[in-house]
Amino acid sequence: HMATVRYAEGKGWYEPRIEARAPIPMDPASAVLHYAQEIFEGLKAYTMPDGGVAMFRPDANAARFAQSAQRMAMPAVPQSVFLESLRQMITIDQKWIPQSDEGSLYLRPFAYASEVFLGVRPSMEYLYLVIASPVGAYFSGGVKPVTVWVTPDYTRAAPGGTGAAKCGGNYAAGLSAQAEAIEHGCDQVVYLDAVERKYVDELGGMNIVFVMDDGSLVTPPLGGTILPGITRDSILKLAQRAGRRVEERPVSIDEWRTGAASGRIREAFACGTAAVITPIGTVRSPEGEFTVADGGSGEVTMALRQELADIQRGRAEDPFGWVHRVL
Ligand code: PMP
């Protein structure tokens, strides 16, 4: 199925519907096709041990969707409309939710400028939709550390740009960088800041966290150029609750390289909805490559991954009330 809600200036959001998933008719002059006024979210629904279904922190996705809308001069979808559309999708497509330990139903809410005109200004009509797709384990055959490519040529977001928004254009601009990473035998691209080309921002579709030799976590601060990841936020909160020190501060690529060599940086991982946590084993750039510790999956990384996955799947206590029961 798909959920749809329409918006028109002066009328607000109207006509919420669940219908059979089908192509969306679009005029060639639909604003989104020309100026990319589009935003999206990604979150998962999981089968709980008792057979019920829950989403993980959908209110956080609703809040980020509203922030993305503001940056892209779009009207915010009210949280109640956002949550209800997800609830209906899960209810009607429950049979598509994998029962397995590793599977989930990926939900993709998005909104785009649907007005038919060619001028450059915010659209006065929008369409909000939700589609869903069952997904299996991110890593088949167990978690494997990834090799990342520090791109010398591309940046993801400049101050004042759209880095903190989840808009399609950010990802279109990242495709060349991702292709460059793959050409160099890497799984993911690491972006450096756009001003000094020195500090680690994030990966193509994940945030980054370092585990220091004293057990503390260090992660780049949300300065407007990084997507405020919900997984990142969850990990920081869980770590803090467990008494682990957490520091949000810039980390340069030199600090990473020398820290990995001296042992000051013991582990590094990427985090996001798709993979939860991915250990980073090897870092490659035009200057050469280095490994983080022995290039394997770090202990703290794997423990945090287990802890968060257990909460998401209802296998462990949910201390922050993140699990949003639907069925
Ligand atoms: N950064 C980028 C660029 C992303 O696309 C994502 C995935 N949404 C993330 C970080 C991680 O965000 P989240 O934990 O909310 O999935």
**DSSP labels for 103-122?**
-EEEEEEEEEE--B--SSS-
- Residues recorded for the chain: 327
- Top mutation candidate among 227, 304, 322 for ligand 1, by most atoms within 8 Å of CB: 227
Architecture of domain 146-312: Alpha-Beta Barrel (3.20)
Delimit the CATH 3.30.470.10 region(s) of the chain.
2-136
What pTM was estimated for this model as a whole? 0.98
d(CA 301, CA 278): 8
d(CA 101, CA 310): 10
d(CA 46, CA 98): 8
- Top mutation candidate among 273, 305, 308 for ligand 1, by most atoms within 8 Å of CB: 273
Residue 79: predicted pLDDT: 98
d(CA 70, CA 81): 17
Residue 327: predicted pLDDT: 95
Mean pLDDT of the chain: 97
Residues of the chain with pLDDT under 70: none
CA of 227 to the centre of ligand 1 (A): 6
Residue 265: predicted pLDDT: 98
Q: Which residues line ligand 1 (CB under 6 A)?
A: 42, 202, 205-207, 227, 229-232, 272-273
Between β-strands 265-272 and 276-285, what pairing exists: parallel, antiparallel or unpaired?
Answer: antiparallel
Strand (E) positions, 69-219?
104-113, 125-135, 146-150, 188-192, 200-203, 207-212, 217-219
Residue 93: predicted pLDDT: 95
Overall CATH class of domain 2-136: alpha beta
Delimit the CATH 3.20.10.10 region(s) of the chain.
146-312
CA of 327 to the centre of ligand 1 (A): 26
Residue 100: predicted pLDDT: 86
Q: Which DSSP symbol is given to 222?
A: -
Residue 252: predicted pLDDT: 98
Contact 160, 149 (CB under 8 A): no
- Can you tell me which atom of ligand 1 is nearest the CA of 274? 16
